[in-house]
Structure 1
Amino acid sequence: MSLNDATNQPRARNLPALLSDLNDRRRSCTVAVSGAPGGTIHMRDGLVVAIETPGTPGIEALLLKSGRLTEQGWTSVRASDRSHEHLARELVAAELVGAGELEIVSLGALFDAAFVLSLHRPTDWEEGDPVPVLSAGTGVTPERLVAETTRRFDILAQAPGAIARSTRDRVHPTPAASQPRSTTLLSPRHRNLLAEVNGRRTPRDIAFTLGRGLFAVLLDLRHLRGRQLVEYTTPTAAGRPSTAPRTSTSSAKAPAPDTTGLPRRQPRRTRRQTASPDSAEHRP
């Protein structure tokens, strides 16, 4: 069932318009977004409470990889809530993570997923019934989600297509990265990230390896590139996903969200496009 077919309403021209309409109607549903990487938007009473996408770590990965939550604790909570409808509440009740910390991680994952989905235009979307999802907090309005996504693109100061390509490029350490004098003044966070740069991983791989959001990883890689410690290369097989292992090679733990669809505000975009072309050359 395509979105709006069941309600006999005109199809939204893009995802921001769709989410705004769902917000006006205080809808609780899921929106399955097709594309690269695609994902699922979870709505509750018209607010966006979570977005899941394979393009960036979700709440579970952020909690586990960062060391905030143990595998044993996570497995125990999942076993006690087979419907997975109250995972956030159970995590807090079991004192495995604080309520405030979980809400911050949940919001960060939401904004990061919206940013990742915005790197490509959606090919389609479909509305379905609400399903349980790990999230904390009351959710955010579509307007706030678009504003935060726009802010992130402005910070990176690149066209969406260029950023999209940079997430697929492999990151290599430069000869300077092996020189102690070049890394002495780096923060622990930057040193941890540099330790995971091996020439085979993409920024997306590194994000999953460290349990950090992709946007934060891109910012730190830009800092390292400015110090001439890393460089990018584009894979020869265009479009082939990276198969680099995501197991950390460092013993240190890094501290700690239209999505395919929530583009920067550009009023002239009035027609949904089915292709997902990149729009500019990558200049990291």
Structure 2
Amino acid sequence: MTALCEQRFTGVLRIEGSPAGAMHLREGLIAGIVTPGAPGPESLLLKSGRITEREWSAAYAAGAAEERVAEQLTATAGIGAAELEVVTVSALYDAAFALALNRPERWQTEPGAVHLPLPVRPGVHPRDLLRENRRRLSELSQRWGSPQQLVMQRVTGRAAPSGVANARFRDILLHANGRHTPRDIAFLVGRGTFAVVTDIVSMTARGLLDGRPAPAPTGAGAAGAAIRTPAREGGAPAAVPPGPLPPAALPRRRPGTGRPTTN
């Protein structure tokens, strides 16, 4: 990633692994990441109820060819540009987190831009993704144990959703049937995988979910071990500038106001 950024590469970095993914770069910056490990911006908008299928289909048909889906949504679906930016940036960071959980098996580059429905403009520097991934993996390791095992385990509720005041916790309990993983629940409720995972850790600590921490990984196989700090000329590690920290939940519009609020 560092080399591609320095080369101002435009194209796709296809990653094979569990999960697989595709990083879309524009002039060395990451404009989007597509992976089955985390919901993309389209899924977040639709599953959360922020927009309807009809609104998405109309905006996509009118704007996809020129990457103007965002402009179409702001014009026809009553969603603001700032709100859309929050959703797209949050989805990109969440996808990067999903890919960082395991070492990639192989990767290859494909030069040339590929159209994205909702790209992040101008893009996110790889150093910012590195910084945030390390923070997230460290947080989960300290609060729980192995992040890899946490995202793979099936979630089982120990409380009735109707008896829980927190709306986010209620949504998770509705799907905590012993068959769904945190990733599954993220797709079902229209929230980021990391946001759902952190809520699951909190809910388990409060006795709302079954589960116990797994040992944190060590050595070369640890989560994120394949990620390396970019180096300056001369070999010194590059300073990592502060990056945007995505919110824990997708903002929703307050009825009648058009302003986003966080649930």
Class of the TM-score when normalised by the shorter of the 2 chains = 0.7 to 0.9
Q: Which amino acid aligns with 1:22?
A: L
Task: Report deviation, 1:198.
Answer: 1.2
Q: Which residue of 2 aligns with 1:172?
A: 156
Counterpart-to-counterpart distance in 1, 2:78 and 2:172: 26
Q: Which residue of 1 aligns with 2:199?
A: 220
Q: Which residue of 1 aligns with 2:236?
A: none
Asked if residue 131 in structure 1 is aligned to residue 114 in structure 2, the reply is yes
With the length of structure 2 as denominator, give the TM-score of the two structures. Answer: 0.75
Q: Which residue of 1 aligns with 2:137?
A: 153
Map 1:1-284 → 2, pairs under 5 A: 19-81=1-63, 83=65, 85-128=67-110, 129-133=112-116, 134-157=118-141, 162-174=146-158, 177-178=159-160, 183-184=163-164, 186-232=165-211, 263=227
CA contact (8 A) 2:2 2:230 kept: no
Q: Rate the CA distance shift 1:82–1:137 in 2: closer, same or farther, 3 A.
A: closer
Which residues of structure 1 form unaligned runs of 5+? 1-18, 234-258, 268-284
Which residues of structure 2 form unaligned runs of 5+? 213-222, 232-263
- CA RMSD after TM alignment: 2.7
CA contact (8 A) 1:48 1:142 kept: yes
With the length of structure 1 as denominator, give the TM-score of the two structures. Answer: 0.70
CA contact (8 A) 2:140 2:146 kept: no
**SS of match in other structure, 1:173:** coil
Identity of matched residues, %: 39
Counterpart-to-counterpart distance in 1, 2:202 and 2:144: 19
CA contact (8 A) 1:119 1:160 kept: no
CA deviation profile, 1:189-248 (whole Å, cap 9, x unmatched): 212222221111111110000011110001101111011111149xxxxxxxxxxxxxxx
**SS of match in other structure, 2:170:** helix
Counterpart-to-counterpart distance in 2, 1:95 and 1:179: 31
CA contact (8 A) 1:150 1:264 kept: no
How many residues align structurally?
219
**SS of match in other structure, 2:25:** strand
CA contact (8 A) 2:185 2:196 kept: yes
Task: Report deviation, 1:143.
Answer: 0.6
Q: Which amino acid aligns with 1:172?
A: T
CA contact (8 A) 1:78 1:84 kept: no
CA contact (8 A) 2:43 2:190 kept: yes
**Could you say which structure has the greater relative contact order, defined with CA pairs below 8 angstroms and 6 or more residues apart?**
1
Q: Which amino acid aligns with 1:122?
A: P
CA deviation profile, 1:260-280 (whole Å, cap 9, x unmatched): 88747599xxxxxxxxxxxxx
Counterpart-to-counterpart distance in 1, 2:225 and 2:113: 19
